[in-house]
Amino acid sequence: MTLMAAAILGVAAGVSARADNPPPPVANDAPPPAIPVQPLSLEQVPPAQPPAAVQTPPLSAVQSVAPDTAEAILGQPVTDPDKKEIGRLVDVLVDANGQPQAAVIDFGGFMGVGNRKIAVHWSVLRFTPGDTKHKITVTMTPDQIKAAPEFLDPNKAASVVTPADSVAAGH
């Protein structure tokens, strides 16, 4: 259970990091108002910060993300350019900079028999959060998709299909 929760949170964080470009708002952007200068006396120690702006920087900022601006993608159907569903997105390969490199799509098969997983380059995917029926589209022809080799072991090098050459490039 922890593993699954961690995976989902990790991807959700990755997706939301892509979606919002401006950094999260910080409470103390503006310089604090000027402190009135007074001769120091023992009884009166000027506060480190003006009493009116009594804030400490928050630990985290909460931002609201509507489903038509950013969508959950794991387990969602993937459609081809003809709007036909070809499979489901089951995993994301992310590099050390947090940039998604490839998506693993599980497709084909009937009642679970004959399913294959393939890895496609991230640039091949188009995401349309506003469209509830076709959230994820892959801009590859069925022939290119057909020829993709199977993605098997996440611990080995993945063969990721890219549009420039439909022959898989070692990743």
Partner 1 sequence: MSRAVHPRIGPNRALDLLNFFVADVQTGFGPFVAVYLTSHKWTQIDIGFALTLGTMTSLIGQLPAGVLVDSMRNKRIAATGALAAVFVAALLLAFLPHPLPVLTAQILHGFASCVITPAIAAISLQLAGHAALGERLGRNARHGSIGNGLAAAVMGASGAYFSSRFVFLLTAALCVPALAMLWKIGAGPHSRSQTTSRALDVDGLKRLLADRRLLIAALCVMLFHLSNAAMLPLAASAVTMRAGQFANLIIAACIVVPQCVVALLSPWVGRTAQKIGRKRLMLIGWGALPLRGLLLAVLPGSWPLVIGQAVSGVSAAVFGVLLPLLAADLTLGTAHFNLCMGILGLALYLGAAISTTMSGGIADDAGTTTAFLVLAATGLAGVIAVWLAMPETRPARETD
4 binds partner 1 (CB under 8 A): yes
161 binds partner 1 (CB under 8 A): no
CA dist., res. 111 & res. 105, Å (int): 16
Q: Tell me how far, at minimum, the Cβ of 32 lies from partner 1, in Å.
A: 46
Tell me the window of 42-50, 126-134, 137-145, 161-169 that interacts with partner 1 (CB under 8 A).
137-145
129 binds partner 1 (CB under 8 A): no
CA dist., res. 169 & res. 69, Å (int): 32
- Which residue, 94 or 147, has its beta carbon nearer to partner 1? 147
Closest alpha carbon to 136 in 100, 109, 167, 165? 100
Helix, strand, coil: what percent of the chain each, to 5?
15, 25, 60
- Which residue, 22 or 112, has its beta carbon nearer to partner 1? 112
- Which residue, 88 or 121, has its beta carbon nearer to partner 1? 88
Query: What Rg do the C-alpha atoms of the chain give, in angstroms?
Result: 24
Give the contact letters, 62-101, x = binds to partner 1 (CB under 8 A), - = no: ----------x-xx--------x---x-xx----------
Q: Are 73 and 59 in contact (CB under 8 A)?
A: no
Among 26, 34, 111, 164, binds partner 1 (CB under 8 A): 111
The gap from C-alpha 144 to its chain's centroid, in whole angstroms, comes to 25
Q: In the chain, at which residue ranges do the beta strands (DSSP E only) sit?
A: 77-79, 85-94, 100-107, 116-121, 125-127, 136-138, 159-161, 169-170
- Which residue, 4 or 48, has its beta carbon nearer to partner 1? 4
Among 36, 110, 133, 165, binds partner 1 (CB under 8 A): 110
Question: Applying CB under 8 A, which residues contact partner 1?
Answer: 1, 3-4, 7-8, 72, 74-75, 84, 88, 90-91, 106-117, 142-143, 145-148, 150, 152-153
